[in-house]
Every structure is written in structure tokens, then in C-alpha cells.
Amino acid sequence: MKKVAFIFPGQGSQKIGMGKDFFENSEIAKDMISKASERLRINFEELLFEENDKIGQTEYTQPAILLVSSIANKIFNDKYTIKPEFVLGHSLGEFSALVSAGAIDYLDAIELVHKRGIFMNEACAGAGAGMMALVGLDDLTVEKMCEEQRSKGLNVWAANYNMDGQIVLAGLKTDLESLVDTFKEAGAKRAIVLDMSVASHCELLQSAVENLKPYLEEYLKDEFLTDVISNVTAKAYNTKEEAIELLSEQLINPVKYKHSISSKESDVDAFIEFGNGIVLKGLNRKITKKPTYNVSDFDTLNKTIEALNE
């Protein structure tokens, strides 16, 4: 049997209609969506399947993505028995990974990330926070440039290490906008300020850290079924104590996604992405030669099972 890792996407993977195939063809999905709606008093059928503005708001985006990823993972596990060598997620996806690892119930996780989104918004409220996608510069160059700009009083940090030559920055939107030409002059192929009102994985979220910790204490379990790879360290953890510290630190530290895949690829034959789209599958093509399968509906579910049986 192949050795696999389960991986889970984060914010940015959302889309109206995600999870609809599962909902229409699975009692498991119907039940999970119904229970999530009751728990948060949010109509997830409307949020997921009907045109709305909330799907792009952090406190709604995060539980929606986690719910769809958890449904995909649950349906897969019911159809195919395989224990992952480890699980990991990109930013928000680390919470979906914890659900998969049995470290938190999916309903508790949905409430937890809903609160996480609220705390992130509160931390950035009125600050003019934002994020920027940067393509074509190496890590060291970006880090030195950010450090130099901070010494001049600007608020800008490396937030997501997605793959070689692709980094997402976080900070104040006006500061990021003022640096577009600076990054391009340094050799960046693209420097695009994103349509976001939060600045994830940087010091601007410091106030969210202490707000989140009590809920991590309340909802996380003591037992993990498998290792989880931390966004902060790119290393494995499997205890509640470690999870509380690392998930708190994750808010103000960059996501080391490419480091996580590179450091663990030798332990598996393939990766399986659970949730909407193929964001991580696309990144993995640039990071590792190991295949990445995805489970976002019943068609991709069946194709993934076929690939695992080859």
C-alpha cells in the first residue's frame, strides 16, 4: 500500500458551490453541514451554494473551507482505509489537518476558526492591513528587503512561503502599495496587492494570539492519531501542549509550506489534498516530484482511489 500524507488548503481556495457534489450525493455531507449550521447559527447551505458576500469575509471563509475539507476527508476515509504518515495544512488548513488527526472535533474546529477569523479582523480593524503576492524573488532577497523597509518605519513582513519564487507578504496596505516598484526594480516579475483587509501571519495579529489561546485550550484533545506538521517550524508535533503554542504562534509567524513539503516528501509516495480546488496540488508540482491527488467531489474521489490502487 502506498504511503500518503493528507494536506488541506487555506484561505483563498473558497468558491461558491464548493462541496455541492458531496452535499447532493452524500448523507454524510448533508448531516455535517446541518450540524455546522446549527452549531454556528450560520446557514452553510446558503453560504456555500448561493451567491453572497460573506464567503469572502474571513470569519465566514475559514469555517466554510474547513467544513468542506472535513467533509471530503470523512467521505474518503469511509470509502478507503489508509492511515496517513502525517497531515499538514496551509495556514487555516492546519486546523483541518488537526480534525483529520483526531485532535479536534470538526464542529469544535468550525467554531474555533470562526472565532479565529473574528479575532484576526479585530486585530486589523482600522489599521489598513493588507497582503501582497510577490513572484520572482528568492527568499533571502525578500527577507532583507522587508527588514530594510521595517527599519525605515514601514510595516511589511514575509507571510507565506508557498514555493521557490513565490512569497506572500503581509503588512499595511499603503506600505505594500508604496513598495510595488521597489520590488519590481529588484527583479520581481509580479508584485500585486491583494483584495484583503487582514494581514495574516505577521506582528499586526499579536492581539489575536491571546484571544485564541483559551479556545485552543478548550477544544483541542490530548490524543493525536498521527503527526501534524507545523506551519511555524515545518516539523511534526502530536501533543495538545505543542498544538496550543504552535497554533498561537502561527498567527504572527510565516507559513513555511514549501519547507514542510520538502522536508517530509521522502516519507511518502503521494500527497492527497482535501477540499475545494487544487491550490496545493499546483504548488506541489513546483516543490516535489511526488504526485499530489485531490478530493473535491466524487469524480476526483474515485480517481484518487484508482490511483492509490495502481
Tell me how crowded residue 185 is: count the other CB atoms within 10 A of its CB: 9
Q: Which residue out of 13, 91, 197, 248 is catalytically annotated?
A: 91
Q: Yes or no: say if 46 and 36 are a contact pair by the CB < 8 Å rule.
A: no
91 belongs to the catalytic site: yes
Q: Which of 200, 201, 248, 259 is catalytic?
A: 201
Name, in order, each residue with C-beta under 8 angstroms of 189's C-beta and a sequence gap of 6 or more.
135, 136
Cα–Cα distance between 225 and 222 in angstroms, integer?
A: 10
C-alpha distances (whole Å) from 31 to each of 17, 63, 110, 209, 271 are 17, 16, 14, 32, 27
Inter-CA distances, 148 with 44, 68, 153, 154, Å: 44, 40, 9, 9
CA dihedral 269, 273, 307, 303 (to 10 degrees): 180
Q: What nine digits make up the cell of 303?
A: 480517481
Joined grid coordinates for residue 8: 488541506
Cell numbers of 164, please? 521557490
Q: Specify whether the CB–CB gap between 43 and 37 falls below 8 A.
A: yes
- For the chain, the farthest-separated pair of C-alpha atoms sits apart, in whole angstroms, at 56
Query: Can you read off the three cell numbers belonging to residue 85?
Result: 504518515
* CA atoms within 13 A of residue 221's CA, in its CB half-sphere: 16
Positions annotated as catalytic residues are 91, 201
